[in-house]
Amino acid sequence: MSLKTPVTIFLLIAVAGLAAFPHFSDEFYLEFFTHLMVMGIFAMSLDLLIGYTGLVSFGHAAFFGLAGYLLAIVTPQDEAVALWLSLPVCLAGAALAALVIGWFSVRTSGIYFIMITLAFAQMLFYYFNENEALGGSDGIFIFSKPFVGFGDWQIIDLANPTTVYYFVLASLVVCYLLLTVMLRAPFGQVIQAIRANEHRTRALGYDTQRYKLVAFVIAGTMAGFAGYLEAVSTGIVSPGHLHWHNSGLVMMHVILGGMGTLYGPILGAFILGLLHDQVQEVTEHWHLVQGVFVIFVVLFLPRGIAGLVGRLFGRARDLDTEETRVADDDEHKVGAEPNGERTK
């Protein structure tokens, strides 16, 4: 995977805009954009499966919600838990769940893979939905945000919405860079080969099931990290975080944003989230507007929103190339003699 320079510039501008956003935003939109960035991390993790490995998981929300519940479980009611303790526990729990679910799932393919991931996710959903000790269908509150510091010295105050915003923004950038490096490594090349032709990749001597399992665990762990950030920012976890609706929503982010791009799913999360926020204030039939938008993107933007961005920046790059070529031709004509020889 290689990002061309114009798209990289676009991403840098987008990050700079997000970094400046808290300076002119109210608290509502600050928390709303924090949620959108969390969904961007969640969507990137699913893009690793769908866009790069060719595994369509319809139960990805299981890891998202599980990590949030683990944070609620390890957080005492009367004091904050250290981030150095809670984050590894939540990530390890999400990774373990992904390992177990993935061990069974990667032995199937196609519609069977979709159904088995959905089945596991719904099992977890109903477990937490019926567990009265964890709030049942109402969910559970997290009254104290994780403590980031040593002893009595606090480094980062996660009770401050602005601090949480920048913490999530930094996490989004780091996750994107880590996935970019991983996909350029030999491991990333192999899983992309599996998506293109698994039989040929297996014939070359690669254990495709093992590679798919590792990719599944990495994606599940990153989804768990997104769920951890969501629980930190909102202070509540509910069974809805594990429901298949949430899996379908993040899959829509990936498909509409552009599969196999990493930044496309982030764009999908932002655009669908903003569309929902703005349209529901105008009409109660916002689902209809959202459906029309989805149909439009699927029909006219087969590569998603990221494909449109790449096309626009590619067109600008082509125009620059054309201008440079014309300038070189003019210079060649000026410096040439009538018989076609260059002047000395």
Span 185-225, pLDDT tens digits? 999 999 999 999 999 999 999 999 999 999 999 999 999 99
Residue 319: band (very low, low, confident or very high) from pLDDT cuts 50, 70, 90: very low
Query: Within 13 Å, how many C-alpha atoms sit on residue 343's CB side?
Result: 8
Q: Where are the domains of the chain?
A: 9-243
What number is the average pLDDT over the span 22-49?
94
Residue 316: band (very low, low, confident or very high) from pLDDT cuts 50, 70, 90: very low
Query: Within 13 Å, how many C-alpha atoms sit on residue 39's CB side?
Result: 28
**Residue of 86, 15, 34 whose CA lies nearest to 234:** 34
Query: Which residue matches tokens 């913490």?
Result: 167
Residue 314: band (very low, low, confident or very high) from pLDDT cuts 50, 70, 90: low
CB atoms within 10 A of CB 159: 15
The mean predicted confidence, pLDDT, of the chain is: 87
Q: Could you tell me which residues are beta bridge partners of residue 141?
A: 236
Cα–Cα dist 61/243, whole Å: 7
**Residue of 266, 258, 247, 254 whose CA lies nearest to 115:** 247
User: Which residue type does 335 have?
Assistant: G
- pLDDT, greater one: 328 or 94: 94
Q: Which two three-digit tokens encode residue 105?
A: 């799932």
Query: Within 13 Å, how many C-alpha atoms sit on residue 150's CB side?
Result: 0
Cα–Cα dist 227/76, whole Å: 19
Taking CA atoms, 15 is separated from 18, 62, 166, 169, 299, in Å, by 5, 29, 11, 8, 29
Cα–Cα dist 168/36, whole Å: 10
**Residue of 259, 230, 253 whose CA lies nearest to 242:** 230
Q: How far apart are the first and last CA of the chain?
A: 46
**Residue of 195, 298, 312 whose CA lies nearest to 252:** 298
DSSP state of 52: I
Question: What is the predicted pLDDT for the residue at 303?
Answer: 85
Question: What is the predicted pLDDT for the residue at 4?
Answer: 59
Cα–Cα dist 250/254, whole Å: 6
What number is the average pLDDT over the span 268-281?
89
**pTM of this structure:** 0.88
What number is the average pLDDT over the span 134-150?
89
